[in-house]
Amino acid sequence: MKRLLGAAVVLGGLSLAGCAGGGYAFYASTPPPAVRFEERGVAPGAGFIWIDGYWGYNGGRYAWVPGRWERPPRPRAVWVPGRWETRHGRYYYRNGRWR
């Protein structure tokens, strides 16, 4: 019984780990508008990087999520930008993430 319970805990943890980060945040039936140009301004301090804005989708319509300055969570971290993908006639937004 202990062995079965241990296996269930391990498999459950592995399935949750597969869901962490990089998942889809928005689903839409129409394509997103063209990306907006944003003024970046000056970084608030050393070590900050600019993360571009993107079109989010909520309540049946697109809304612009502005870009921002952010400090990487660890040395040598690289930002992988979010992107819209199409599958079977629908549009999916994959969240940006630190790698």
Q: What is the pTM of this model?
A: 0.71
Residue 35's beta-bridge partner residues?
none
pLDDT in tens, 1-41: 444 434 433 333 333 333 334 577 788 999 999 999 999 99
3-state class (DSSP) for residue 2: helix
Q: Answer yes or no: are the C-beta atoms of 96 and 81 closer than 8 Å.
A: yes
Largest Cα span, the chain: 61
pLDDT of residue 32: 95
pLDDT digits (tens, 9 = 90+) for 46-90: 999 999 999 999 889 999 999 999 999 999 999 999 999 999 999
Amino acid at 48: F
pLDDT at 15: 33
DSSP string, 41-94: ---SSTT-EEE--EEEEETTEEEEE--EEE--SSTT--EE--EEEEETTEEEEE
pLDDT at residue 54, as a whole number: 96
Domain boundaries, the chain: 39-99
Q: Which residues contact 51 (CB under 8 A, 6 or more apart)?
A: 67, 68, 69, 70, 79, 81, 96
Rounded-to-integer distance, Cα 93 and Cα 99, Å: 18
